[in-house]
Chains A and B, each alone.
Chain A
């Protein structure tokens, strides 16, 4: 108990210095927490998004990632038949991507469109209304409904392109807006719709009547996912079978810059915190050499001195860390808002995902750093020659 009291009184003696150091550690701790959150958050967030509907494997055109290019997979029906022969595969959800146009007054609204199987789709959640189960049905997100000025039940004239020579829309259809949805992979402010796969295939022209951009596959047994993925890649040479782990590895590769930035800035923050506390405690010890030597002369053990000084360092680190936790969460929220505006990034992706593990990791690293920061000055204080130091102090 005495060690705590001595450490506390030493910190209180130079209140300005202690407050400044705590503030410095708080900013470093906030940065460290943010960087720990960023290094794991986006990966975890993307994993949660991929697995949100239970699809463990995606089939994309060979050599591409889902919706990364305009390439499509041909012979969808044959592929679906082939996939159904594998007893491990329980759900197959083919998806075709495209673009549609709707004339609203004098302006043309262009929106992304997905052709899906409404019974097994994993691309959106229905907010109100009904799924597009009929051939002439379409559902849209809030941005689309707002831009089209439509309401559920309205009939829209939808085209899938232009014929510039004839100055008309191509493949026009009249579709009924049956539902309001939220797209899981949709980007902020992106206009998006969904309709039956066959409807979009028919609207996309003769060359796409049996095409899909992507297949989402649900495998019965989690342990068999990799075996099923390998089988799919062997059985269908025109596709790349991408498991969640492969997709995560691709995302890791694409966003490696942010992960490395997180490691570098996190390390720098930790080092700055360590340096600040080490400097402060060292100066504090230098100022109290006389006091410490007197304590040693009175019979206080070396271990006691070491513990007291290390406690001072830890107290500074912990006080700063606790203040830094709140600051870190606030800055993470702000930084996440900036990165969320990446063009095409799904709204559901969080770069800074708070997980208790992140906070504990940051706190643990700072506590260790506090201990390390106290080692040098405490060792120096404990090894002072008592008689010589007392004599020098008396002369001074």
Chain B
């Protein structure tokens, strides 16, 4: 539950004052430091509150569900918060630790068979439920990624075809000198593969830089330690394999076409 923190630094020291931990973003924005006294209330402008000492700053967790939320978080003692918001002896949830997976199952069964008005869930089930926002974003990224791959593939195919087409006269000369079709095709394919490898390496370097920039920028914008862009081995492998397949494929197609054409025709005569 959120507490509206009314910024009021008090001068009178009270020996019974309790402590709270506040969001580091709140500390930064409201210029509050550890040891400062603040007045907390459950409603804006309310006089019914408590003066507490800020004893710790808490860092925002890397929770995808919280990225777009800008609210501050405050951590208080349970009874302190219950008193403040008139919640009585109620809580929103319990976290229960068990000894082993079997104990988790039996605890779930025992609680759910006797519970009324509440339910026990496995932590991993809750994690799946709360990360649904991120799953949607992930699906969206995959769809965008697919479109980008199609566009890149066509682009790469076009460039490779043009690159090989430019070699018409070279290929004609080689053929007239007695170089076999196989050698010509192999040479062109190797050139295409080399281009694809060099392009892939450059692409990985650019994406590495871009990834660092994206993480730096969005971690700053959303004030979160969450990573927005990660370059993983499967992603690098996919990119390299795709560019190699497309590059070699385009090179092979174009070189076969050239190798089949009579050298004189390639000279344009």
Contacts and interface: CB of A to CB of B under 8 A. Distances in A.
Contact of A283 (B44, B140, B162): B162
B151 A335 contact: no
A23 B152 CA distance: 11
Contacts of A253: 70
A346 to B, nearest CB: 15
Main secondary structure of the interface of A (DSSP, over half): helix
Interface in B119-174: 132-133, 136, 139-140, 143-144, 147-148, 150-152, 154-155, 157-159, 161-162, 165-166, 169
Contact of B158 (A21, A261, A265): A21
Contacts of A237: 44-45
A24 interface: yes
Given A335-B144, A342-B136, A24 B4 contact: no
Given A69-B2, A163-B117, A331-B147, A256 B221 contact: yes
A334 B143 CA distance: 9
A339 B115 CA distance: 36
Interface stretch (A26-34, A131-139, A145-153, A372-380): A26-34
Interface residues of B, number: 41
A31 B71 contact: no
Interface in B158-193: 158-159, 161-162, 165-166, 169
Interface in A66-103: 68-71, 74
Interface in A276-300: 276, 279-280, 283, 286
Interface residues of A, number: 51
B1 interface: yes
Contact of B165 (A163, A167, A283): A283
B151 A31 contact: yes
A63 interface: yes
Contacts of B133: 342-343
Given A20-B157, A71-B4, A265-B144, 7 more contacts: A24-B155, A27-B154, A30-B147, A257-B222, A276-B158, A280-B162, A338-B140
Interface of A: 16-17, 20-21, 23-24, 27-28, 30-31, 61-64, 68-71, 74, 161-164, 167, 207, 237-238, 253-257, 261, 265, 269, 272, 275-276, 279-280, 283, 286, 331, 334-335, 338-339, 341-343, 396
20 contacts: A20-B154, A20-B158, A24-B155, A31-B148, A69-B2, A162-B118, A164-B116, A167-B117, A237-B45, A238-B44, A253-B70, A254-B70, A257-B67, A265-B144, A276-B158, A280-B158, A338-B139, A341-B136, A342-B133, A343-B136
